[in-house]
Amino acid sequence: MSILRLSHVEVRVPDLELATAYYCEVVGMIETARESERVFLKCWDEHQHHSVVLTWAPTHGLNHFGFKVTDLEDLDLYAARLKEAGIDVTRHAPDEWAPGHGSSIRFTLPSGHTMELVHGMQQVGNLLPLTNPPPKPLNLVGIAPPRIDHLFLTAEDVGAMTDFLVDVLDFRVTEQVVGDDGFQIATWLEVSHASHDIALVTGPNGGLHHFAWAVEDWTAIRDAADICAYHGVRIETNPTRHGATRGHCLYFFDPVGNRNEVFTGGYWVDPDNEPTLWTEAEMGRALFWYDGVVNQRFLTVHT
């Protein structure tokens, strides 16, 4: 029927033990499987086998990201669409790539990122019973976000990539920063009726700016800052607010240099929503509403 939401990200880490300790003890994810060079993690309210995969590598950065589709036939539908657009697609059987992983198709986007569409990932259940559950588990460790939310990538040609996601994969643009020369500097796109599931900003092809978890509210953003500071995690921005998406957020870095975010807020969008436009002069407020200036580190550091 459609692409549903962000499913998972696979990030490279040069120190698997250190990264695992951080994602479990500070972020509060749960380890569901482990191999010699990979660790599989999920958030407490997620039912699926993994939403973050840490893969040992000499560098940091993004290996691939996956979106969940509603039905198995969606894989054929989008494989055909991608081939029509001149993109090579590989098909993967359940468990072929990783334990608990569903059926998937993989391809390289025009921006150089490896993307996957996945269906039927193993359901391992959240941390609550399915009969008379309490609203949340007690004794969660660390920030303990309920789920992964979105990711933000860098691309040389944001306009072309945005068109590709819209035309071939049925994403919808919610917001955009358009330069004085008329080119898109950054775009936010959704499939899940949220303010964004993926966003793009001008930068090198194949780059990961950050991936984000959803948290409940502004108080949870503050608590996340307390937890990051307590553990000596490098916080990039104070708890603040975006103009684009309206969300409240905190940015910080995992111990090997990948940028993380916790995010809350935003809005519901119908499919016929008219995108919001940010002009180049207001780009500072689009990114950080309170500060109102473009933070150079935020725009130049990516992995």
* Of 59 and 219, CB closest to another protein: 219
Pick the piece of the chain touching another protein (CB under 8 A) from 51-59, 182-190, 225-233, 281-289: 281-289
Nearest to 242 by CA among 275, 195, 280, 274: 195
User: Which one of 22, 23, 251, 302 is the catalytic residue?
Assistant: 251
Could you say which DSSP state residue 194 is in? S
Name every residue whose Cβ is closer than 8 Å to that of residue 50 and which is 6 or more positions away in sequence: 8, 32, 33, 40, 41, 42, 98, 100, 101, 121
- Written as one letter, the residue type at 264 is T
Pick the piece of the chain touching another protein (CB under 8 A) from 32-40, 80-88, 202-210, 213-221: 213-221
The verdict on whether 60 is a catalytic residue reads no
Pick the piece of the chain touching another protein (CB under 8 A) from 104-112, 204-212, 239-247, 295-303: 239-247
| Least Cβ distance, residue 178 to another protein (angstroms) | 10
Tell which phi-psi region holds residue 245, choosing left (phi > 0), alpha (psi between -120 and 50) or beta: left
Strands 207-214 vs 259-264: parallel, antiparallel or unpaired: parallel
Task: Give CA–CA dist 283/285, Å, rounded.
Answer: 5
| Least Cβ distance, residue 280 to another protein (angstroms) | 11
The catalytic residues are: 150, 196, 210, 242, 251, 261
> Which parts of this chain interact with another protein (CB under 8 A)?
1-2, 4-5, 45, 47, 68, 70, 123, 125, 130-136, 146-147, 192-193, 214, 216-219, 241-243, 246, 264-265, 267-268, 270-271, 273-279, 282, 285-286, 289
